[in-house]
Amino acid sequence: MPDKSSTVQQYIASKPALAQQRLNELRACLLAANPNAVDELKWGKPALVDDGILYVYAAFTKHISLHPTPSVIDAFKDQLQAYTLSGNTVQFPLNTAIPEQLVTEMAGLRMIQKTEQGIGWK
């Protein structure tokens, strides 16, 4: 059944407790790189936006997905070898804590690429 949430907070609250915890861990890391970003739903998934999409993320049965950009995934591919990757997505297992330092570094690169290099989200 599709998620019927109308806000990011509703989306997070609609998930099981462990997924809520992981989503909040991930969101905190992403906001550390850009505290001015605002929550929006994009395609039914939480997103952080600041003059364009910065990241989209979501909870699934066994993982949390983060969608920055393919260039961010590519730049961190060596550090992301333990995770499932595809295009602009990294999957973090639900049963382990979000790797906060790694995600914060990825978010920082995303901000540099967006603000200094004009790389849009896709």
Q: Give CA–CA dist 114/38, Å, rounded.
A: 16
pLDDT for 87 equals: 86
Q: How far is CA 64 from the centre of its chain?
A: 8
User: What is the fold, at CATH topology level, of the domain defined by 8-112?
Assistant: Aspartate Aminotransferase, domain 1 (3.90.1150)
pLDDT for 1 equals: 40
Q: What angle do CA 69, 75, 81 make, to 5 degrees?
A: 100
Q: Give CA–CA dist 71/75, Å, rounded.
A: 6
pLDDT for 122 equals: 62
Which mean pLDDT values do the consecutive 10-residue runs of the chain (122 residues) have? 78 96 96 92 94 94 95 95 93 96 94 82 67
pLDDT for 116 equals: 83
Q: In sequence order, what are the residues at sequence separation of 6 or more whose Cβ sits closer than 8 angstroms to the Cβ of residue 78? A: none
Would you state the structure tokens that stand for residue 28, as one six-digit string? 């905190």
